[in-house]
């Protein structure tokens, strides 16, 4: 996906919020905003949003002595999510459609995202998500579950692209459900190599217990998404052999939505641009197969009225 002009005010907001989280002084905050502003005229909107956001996160790293300013936040997310694990597993195990429930929960876990809204009250949000009425949300959204199930049955090598720390517990629930149904599949769980916002690292995947069900690998980058051009050779080899890719979160969707290979994007719609891009409301959970011929998204991409006015 390319970047919309509407993303630019949001980049500034993220840079500013991020600068406060890394503990920048007001003067440093101003310098970050100024430096980001200087970059804007040089930026091509042909780049995906995570490619541009990465510039902002680099500026944050320059002012912060702390190489991982979101460390405490990630630890807390892992802890909170792990406390929910029993309830999540019970929900899946007692469901008549356990795989579907696990998919829904994995997407719901995408609420754990400080890049979009740092003050998110995880506990309250998750409580809402776990409420029964949310079972119906996907009916009004894009939800290619039939294709997902079919693809899962056929695939030998499955690559699962992680998004945030904490959220990894929800991924674990889905991965364990897949393993239970299909014990012979090779499952890879790809995290970021170096810290960027609250994205999951190797240590988070382990803390969340993913390593027991999947082979945890790194994508070799510190980008808030999966920018293939920056990824390690090792990661790209797995990406190549995988006959099914499960991609979590908006960042991965934004950076991979134009890929020609089949990918299932699981994410929660968190901003008006993605709402415009997908035709789904903010807050809805999406399971989108990018190669589905009659995909609602494909049509909507053309029809987009407001956000379609790209520069």
Q: Which residues bind a second copy (CB under 8 A)?
A: 5-6, 8-10, 12-13, 16, 20, 26-27, 29-30, 33-35, 37-38, 40-41, 45, 309-311
Task: Give the integer Cα–Cα distance in Å for 63 and 288.
Answer: 38
CB of 21 to a second copy, least distance (A): 12
CB of 308 to a second copy, least distance (A): 9
CB of 29 to a second copy, least distance (A): 6
Question: Which residues make Cβ contacts (< 8 Å) with residue 266, sequence separation at least 6?
Answer: 103, 106, 107, 110, 246, 247, 248, 249, 285, 286, 287
Nearer to a second copy, 8 or 85 (CB): 8
Nearer to a second copy, 40 or 241 (CB): 40
Task: Give the integer Cα–Cα distance in Å for 65 and 58.
Answer: 13
CB of 119 to a second copy, least distance (A): 10
Task: Give the integer Cα–Cα distance in Å for 12 and 40.
Answer: 10
Q: Are 165 and 199 in contact (CB under 8 A)?
A: yes
Nearer to a second copy, 35 or 125 (CB): 35
Q: Which residues of 197-215 are buried (b: 16+ CB within 10 A; e: fewer)?
A: bbbbbbbbbbbbbbeebbe
Nearer to a second copy, 63 or 80 (CB): 63
Per-residue DSSP letter, 261: S
CB of 16 to a second copy, least distance (A): 6
CB of 187 to a second copy, least distance (A): 40
**Residue reference for tokens 């406390």:** 83
Nearest residue to 174 (alpha-carbon basis) of 66, 292, 89: 89
Nearer to a second copy, 9 or 183 (CB): 9
Q: Are 138 and 108 in contact (CB under 8 A)?
A: no
Nearer to a second copy, 34 or 156 (CB): 34
């Amino acid at each position: 996906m390319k970047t919309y002009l509407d993303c630019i005010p949001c980049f500034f907001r993220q840079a500013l919020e991020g600068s406060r989280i890394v503990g920048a002084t007001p003067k440093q905050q101003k310098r970050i905003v100024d430096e980001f502003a200087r970059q804007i005229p040089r930026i091509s909107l042909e780049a995906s949003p995570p490619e541009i956001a990465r510039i902002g996160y680099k500026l944050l790293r320059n002012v912060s002595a702390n190489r991982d300013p979101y460390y405490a936040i990630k630890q807390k997310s892992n802890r909170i999510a792990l406390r929910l694990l029993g309830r999540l597993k019970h929900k899946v195990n007692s469901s008549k459609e356990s795989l579907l429930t696990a998919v829904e929960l994995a997407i719901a876990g995408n609420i754990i995202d400080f890049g979009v809204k740092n003050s998110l009250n995880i506990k309250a949000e998750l409580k809402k998500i776990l409420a029964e009425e949310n079972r119906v949300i996907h009916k009004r959204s894009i939800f290619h579950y039939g294709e997902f199930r079919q693809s899962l049955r056929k695939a030998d090598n499955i690559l699962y692209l992680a998004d945030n720390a904490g959220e990894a517990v929800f991924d674990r629930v889905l991965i364990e459900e897949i393993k239970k149904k299909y014990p012979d599949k090779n499952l890879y769980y790809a995290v970021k190599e170096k810290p960027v916002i609250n994205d999951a690292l190797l240590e988070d995947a382990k803390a969340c217990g993913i390593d027991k069900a999947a082979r945890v690998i790194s994508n070799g980058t510190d980008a808030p998404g999966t920018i293939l051009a920056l990824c390690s050779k090792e990661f790209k080899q797995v990406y190549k052999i995988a006959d099914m890719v499960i991609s979590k979160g908006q960042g991965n969707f934004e950076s991979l939505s134009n890929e020609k290979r089949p990918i299932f994007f699981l994410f929660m719609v968190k901003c008006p641009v993605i709402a415009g891009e997908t035709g789904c409301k903010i807050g809805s959970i999406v399971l989108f197969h990018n190669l589905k011929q009659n995909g609602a998204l494909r049509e909507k991409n053309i029809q987009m009225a407001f956000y379609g006015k790209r520069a």
